Amino acid sequence: MKIFLGNDIVEIERVREVFGKYGKKFLGKTFTEPEINYSLSNLKLAPQRLAVRFAVKEAVSKALGVGINKPGWNRGINWKDVEVERDKNGAVNINLYGRAKDLEKKFNITDWSVSISHSHTDAMAVVAGYSATYSTENSSSIVS
């Protein structure tokens, strides 16, 4: 078995500032509609909810070994390739799309574990992807 591990920590105040400055443009570029709807359903908690989702996206990109795309560099995944959702019991799960989904298939990742937390100042996420059939042949040329 191979475990693909990623983690990230985000300053909630930075997310609050970016959201305050760019508003819907920031939300639309970074988060899916369900993520936006959930995060904004409680405005008092919105910065923490957005920050922890941001951290999950970064953590998944690290677990996949590619990072997040940015201007002038497109070998990673896109922000919306990772969607964070809560199940009926409140547990956090992820849905992958686009390049993230392609990499998940390439590495034969069949399951993910996600752990999130936040304080008043920081939000953090740890993710682990599990592959029972991973081969080192799969890892050559991650970036294509």
Q: Which amino acid is at 44?
A: K
Res 12 pLDDT > 60: yes
Give me the mean pLDDT over the 4-10 stretch: 98
Res 89 pLDDT > 80: yes
Closest C-alpha to 104, from 70, 55, 66: 66
pLDDT digits (tens, 9 = 90+) for 46-78: 999 999 999 999 999 999 999 998 877 788 999
Say if residues 26 and 139 touch (Cβ distance below 8 Å). Answer: no
Closest C-alpha to 103, from 72, 75, 70: 75
Give me the mean pLDDT over the 95-104 stretch: 96
Res 136 pLDDT > 80: no
79's CB contacts (< 8 A; 6+ apart) are: 29, 30, 31, 57, 68
Res 140 pLDDT > 70: no
CA distances from 126 to 22, 60, 89, 136 (A): 27, 8, 19, 23
Between CA 54 and CA 92 the distance in angstroms is 13
pLDDT interval class at 11 (50, 70, 90): very high
Domains along the chain? 2-139 (3.90.470.20)
58's CB contacts (< 8 A; 6+ apart) are: 6, 8, 10, 68, 125
Q: Which amino acid is at 141?
A: S
